[in-house]
Amino acid sequence: RDAHDRHPRPVIELRHVSFGYADRAVVRSIDLDVRPGEVVALLGPNGSGKSTLVRGLLGLTDQLGGEATVLGQPLRDLSERYRIGYVPQRHTLSGSVRATVEEVVAVGRLPHQGWFVRRTPQDRRAITESLELVGLAERAGDDVSTLSGGQQRRVLIARALAAEPDLLIMDEPTAGVDEASQRVLAEVLRRLTASGRTLLIVTHEVAALRDVVTRIVELTAGRVSFDGTPERYAEHRREQIVGSHPCPPTDPRTRATCRAQAR
Ligand code: ADP
């Protein structure tokens, strides 16, 4: 266990991996290692391949090349998909679902549940702990349709957590919810981080998750265009803006001098 902690095996290992649709590679020959406990924000413009990468890791898009190992197994024959938790994008629970918060979360643990499925004490504990982690233990018995959009996101996070996954992938967890809910979600993510879970978060709102994320991976046109700490990413962005701009918007006097020189 000690040796394992000192040299933890990557949760995700990609070597020249391509993912795509039919024969068209969208994610093209990328290398990526994610280690246990890392909290990775996956950034990039629309169409850069973020969802394709995530769907590839979930076995939902074709692997068109390279070597992919997830949770120590080749992705192509990963048998324990349940060890990867997934919180889908812009998903709320529609009003047509008549279920309690607790019932929805339990599905994450026992997908084929019914009155005949016996819950073990471990199942009950995992479900309760997931609800506590997202701060909805008090709402366990309420109909999910009575919850706000932000609260429903948290139910979906709890549903994914109930399976006790070794890797949790979230697609835009903070998108489309109000600022107060964003703060609560960021706090939930902070708690997940503190508990040592490995997270891969697709997001546009990296500012909201500033103190949660340990690493940023940026995709551009299907390739990794940045991989490093949030601090280095801020520099990278600044350089990109300054680099493409002859007179950066800094001190107005500097800018005036710059303009004069550029003439
Ligand atoms: P992002 O998540 O960064 O916005 P996507 O992975 O959704 O990017 O899309 C990247 C590219 O993959 C786009 O050019 C898109 O047209 C293509 N694509 C996405 N989904 C499919 C699909 N189901 N079939 C074919 N092409 C797809």
pLDDT tens readout for residues 21-45: 988 999 999 999 999 999 999 999 9
**Going by CA atoms, what residue is nearest to atom 22 of ligand 1?**
21
CA 5 to ligand 1 centroid distance, Å: 37
Nearest to 124 by CA among 134, 143, 137: 137
Number of independent structural domains in the chain:
1
Is 240 a member of any domain?
A: no
Please indicate, yes or no, if residue 261 is contained in any of the structural domains: no
**Domain-located, residue 168:** yes
CATH number of the domain within which 200 lies: 3.40.50.300
Whether residue 252 is contained in a domain is answered as: no
In-domain check, residue 69: yes
Q: What is the DSSP letter of 143?
A: B
pLDDT at 80: 66
| CA triple 22-23-27, angle to 5 deg | 95
Ligand 1 binding pocket includes 203 (Cβ within 6 Å): no
The residue contributing the CA closest to ligand 1 atom 7 is 51
* CA atoms of 118 and 141, how far apart (whole Å): 19
Range of the domain at 19: 2-228
pLDDT at 238: 83
> Looking at residue 29, what is its pLDDT?
96
| Contact present, 37 and 198 (Cβ < 8 Å) | yes
In a domain, 217, yes or no: yes
From 51, 55, 218, 219, give the residue whose CB has the most ligand 1 atoms within 8 Å, as the site to mutate: 51
Q: Tell me, what's the pLDDT at 2?
A: 47
* pLDDT at 102 (0 to 100): 93
**pLDDT value at residue 23:** 86
Q: What is the pLDDT of residue 115?
A: 59
What is the DSSP code (8-state) at residue 10? Answer: P
Ligand 1 mean position to 27 CA, how many Å?
A: 9
Percent pLDDT > 70 in the chain is: 83
| pLDDT computed for residue 1 by the predictor | 44
For the CA of 44, the closest atom of ligand 1 is: 3
Domain-embedded: residue 239 = no
pLDDT value at position 182?
83
Tell me the CA–centroid distance for residue 47 and ligand 1, in Å: 6
> Could you tell me if residue 156 is inside a domain?
yes
So what's the pLDDT on residue 187? Answer: 87
Running along the chain, 263 residues long, what does each successive block of 10 average in pLDDT?
Answer: 59 96 94 95 95 92 93 81 81 71 90 71 94 94 90 91 92 83 86 88 85 93 95 86 64 65 59
What is the 137 CA–ligand 1 centroid distance (Å)? Answer: 37
Give the per-residue pLDDT at 241. 73
Q: How far apart are CA 32 and CA 49, in angstroms?
A: 14
The angle formed by the CA atoms of residues 175, 180 and 183, to the nearest 5 degrees, is: 70
Please report, as a single letter, which amino acid is at residue 16. Answer: H
